[in-house]
Structure 1
Amino acid sequence: MQAAAAPRSPGLPFSRLLLTGGNGFVGTHLAPMLSAAAPGLSRLMLVRPGSPAPGADWAVAEAEIDDRESVAAIVRDFAPDCILHLAAQASVGASQAQAEATWRVNFDGTFALAAACARLAPRATFLFTSSGETYGASFRDGEASEGTPLRPQNAYARSKAAAEEMLRDVLGPENRLIVTRAFNHTGRGQDERFVLPAFAAQIARIERGAQPPVMMVGNLDAVRDFLDVRDVCAAYLALLARAPSLKMRSVFNVSSGTGWRIADLLTLLKAQAGAPFEIRPDEARLRPSDIPVAIGRSDLLREVAGWRPAHPIEETLRDILAHARQAAARV
C-alpha cells in the first residue's frame, strides 16, 4: 500500500525524502545535515544489505541499487517527493580496475532508481550527484563551466556522464532533475583511496612509529579544485531548498574555483606533522595525469542558490589529520 501524503517539511519544500548512499563518505556528513535542516521531513535511507544502520532518525530499506524490482518496491511503498541519489562507486582508481562493477552501480543503479521514480513517483524531484570528472579532456581548454563539453577519460567519469544523459530521457516530464557536478571534495572519514586522507594516514602512522619515516606518494604535480565535504553537502541542501524555482532539467558545478597543487597540500600537511619524514615516489601510486590542471566554475550555483564555500583548505586538512590520528590510535 502506498504511503499516505504528508505535509511538507518547514526546512525543505518536500515531505518525503529518499536518500541513497547515506552510509558513504558524503552521505555520513549529509544525512545529519538533512535531519537538522528539515526535522519534520519523513526520511528513508536505501542501503546495501548488511550495511551499518544510520542514526535513529532515519528509516532504512535494504536493497542493491541495481536490483530493479527491489528498488521499485521501495519507491512504491515510500512514495518520495524527493530522491537524493548519492550511491556510487566513487574512486577513479578503483573504477579502472573494476569497470564492470563501476558501470553496474553508477549506471545500472541510477537507471533502476530513475525508472522507478518515473513510474511510481512521477512528480518527485531527483537530485543526481555526478562529478567534475565528466569534463575530462576539456580541462585542457581551461576552467570548466556547465556548458563545457563532457569528454570523460575514465570508467568512473564515463559512467557518470552516461547516467546524466539517461536521466534526461528516463525521468518523466514532471520529475524535476537536478544534476550536480562536484569537484574533488574531502574531509573527515574519507578513505585512503583518496590522496589527502592517504597522506594524513601515513603521517599518523609515522607519528606513532607504526610506519618508517617515509611518505610514499604518487603524482604531486597535478592541480585540482578541492572542497570540504561539508561545503558540498551545503550546496546540495541549498539546491533542494530552491528546487521549485529551478528549471525542470538543471546542471550545477560544485567547485571552489581555486586550484591547489597536490605538492603544496602535502606541504601544508607536513607542517602539522609531529614527526619528520622523507617524501618518496611510489610507482604503484603514480598515475601521471595528462590533465595537469582541473578547476571548475560555480558561478551559476552561487547566483541561483547563494552558495559559497565556508571551510578553507587549511581547516579541512586539520580535520583530515585529526581523524587519521584518531584512527591510528585505535589500531
Structure 2
Amino acid sequence: MLSEAALEGRVLVTGAGGFAARHLLPRLARHVDPELGHAAVFGPSGPDSAPTLPQGFRALSCDLTDAGAIDALIAAVRPDHVIHLAAQSSVGASFADGGRRTWSVNFDGTAALAGALLRHAPAATLLFASTVEVYGLAFRAGRLDETAATAPQNPYARSKRAAEDFLQDTLAGRLPLIIARLTNHSGAGQSAQFVLPSFARQIARIEAGLEPPVLLVGNLDAERDFLHVDDVIDAELTLLTRSTSLAHQVYNVASGTPVPIRALLQRLLALAACPIEVRQDPARLRPSDIPRVDIDPGRLIGETGWRPGRSLDQLLAGVLEDQRRQIAGQPGH
C-alpha cells in the first residue's frame, strides 16, 4: 500500500524521458508542493517532443556522461530529493561496444551525480534505481534477500552493482541513500526491446495483418519475477516518504513470485484475436540466462507495508492494449 505522506522539499528526477519516469512524474506530483520548482531531467537533446509535465515540474536537459554538466545541474536546482532513474537499462544492449556506454551512463554518471550532491546539496536524499540483476548467478542458490552475495553476469548488472558500492562508500554517513533493487517491471509505453512488450508488439502486428502468424521468442523456460510499473512506483514513493525511518539502505522491490516466461506468453496469446504459432529464434537467446529468479521482498514489506496492488493479468492486458494502440496509430494503417 502506498504511503500518502507528503514529500517535503524540491525533487529532481533523472531519466525523465524514460518509461518508468513517465509513469512516476504524475504520481510524484501528488506528494510535493508545486511551488518549489521541481526538475524533470531529460537527456542532452531534451525530450523527443514538448513534454507534458505535471504542475510544478520543469524540463531540464543534461548529459549524464558529462560530469561538468551534472555539477552545474545540481548547483542550479539544489534538490532535497533525487530519484535517479537514468540508465542504460537493456541487458542485451549492454553488450554493445564492449559495455562502454553502459558503464559510462550507469557508473560514471552516477558517481558524478553523487559528487555533485555532496558539493551542492549535501542534505539531499538519493534514491538509486538499481536492479535484481546484480544477484546474477547467486540465484542458483534459491530465494535471495538483500543479504545475499551478488554475482552479476552482464555489463548492465555489473555497472549497477559497482554504482551501488560506490554510493555506499562515498555517501555513507554523509547523505541519505536508498538503493532500490527493482525486479522486471512493465506497463504501457515500455520499449519493445523488453520481453513483454516484444511479445505484445508481435501479437498486435499479427492481428493487424502486418506479419505472418508466427511469434519469435527466446528462452521460454526461464522463470522471472514481474511487477506492474505502478507497483514499482508505489514502492519508490513509499521508500522516499519514509526515508527518515528506514532501517536499511538496500531494498528488493519484487512480487516474490517467479513465473515462467512461457506462462506469461500463453496468457498473452489467450488475449490474441487470432491463432499464432510460437517459434524459437536463436538470435533472441540471451547469454548468461539464469533459470530461475526468486527474490524475497520481505524487508520492504516488513518495514513499509508495501505490497503489489496489480495482477499479472492487468499488466499483460495493459501492455497488449498499448501495443495495439501504437500499431493502429501508425501511418498507413
- 1:55 is aligned to 53
Question: Is 1:46 equivalent to 2:41 in the alignment?
Answer: yes
Query: RMSD across aligned C-alpha pairs, in angstroms?
Result: 1.5
Residues 278-310 of structure 1: CA deviation (Å, up to 9, x unaligned): 111111112265411002111110111110000
- Tell me how far 1:56 sits from its aligned partner: 5.2
- 1:150 is aligned to 150
Q: Which moved further from structure 2: 284-293 or 191-200?
A: 284-293
- 1:288/1:64 Cα in 2 relative to 1: closer, same or farther (>3 Å)? closer
- 2:14 is aligned to 20
C-alpha distance in 2 between matches for 1:21 and 1:305: 26
Superposition pairs of residues 197-208 of structure 1, within 5 angstroms: 197-208=197-208
- 1:29 is aligned to 23
Letter in 1 for 2:201: A
- 1:313 is aligned to 312
Cα contact 1:255–1:295 (8 A) shared by 2: no
Letter in 1 for 2:29: S
Residues 10-57 of structure 1: CA deviation (Å, up to 9, x unaligned): 943421111101210111111111012324454101211223234152
Q: How many percent identity over aligned positions? A: 46
C-alpha distance in 1 between matches for 2:132 and 2:171: 22
- Tell me how far 1:244 sits from its aligned partner: 1.2
C-alpha distance in 1 between matches for 2:288 and 2:45: 37
**Which consecutive residues of structure 1, in runs of 5 or more, have no partner in the other structure?**
1-9
- 2:298 is aligned to 299
- 1:93 is aligned to 92
Cα contact 1:124–1:174 (8 A) shared by 2: no
C-alpha distance in 2 between matches for 1:21 and 1:199: 25
Cα contact 1:11–1:38 (8 A) shared by 2: no
3-state SS in 1 of match to 2:283: coil
C-alpha distance in 2 between matches for 1:167 and 1:54: 32
C-alpha distance in 2 between matches for 1:82 and 1:301: 20
C-alpha distance in 1 between matches for 2:174 and 2:163: 19
- 2:131 is aligned to 131
Q: Which moved further from structure 2: 109-118 or 163-172?
A: 163-172
Length-normalised TM-score, structure 1? 0.94
Residues 41-93 of structure 1: CA deviation (Å, up to 9, x unaligned): 54101211223234152212211012111111111121111111000000001
**Which consecutive residues of structure 2, in runs of 5 or more, have no partner in the other structure?**
none
Letter in 2 for 1:302: I
3-state SS in 2 of match to 1:227: strand
C-alpha distance in 2 between matches for 1:288 and 1:70: 35
Residues 86-137 of structure 1: CA deviation (Å, up to 9, x unaligned): 0000000110124100000000110110000011111110100100000001
Equivalences, count:
321
Question: Is 1:167 equivalent to 2:167 in the alignment?
Answer: yes
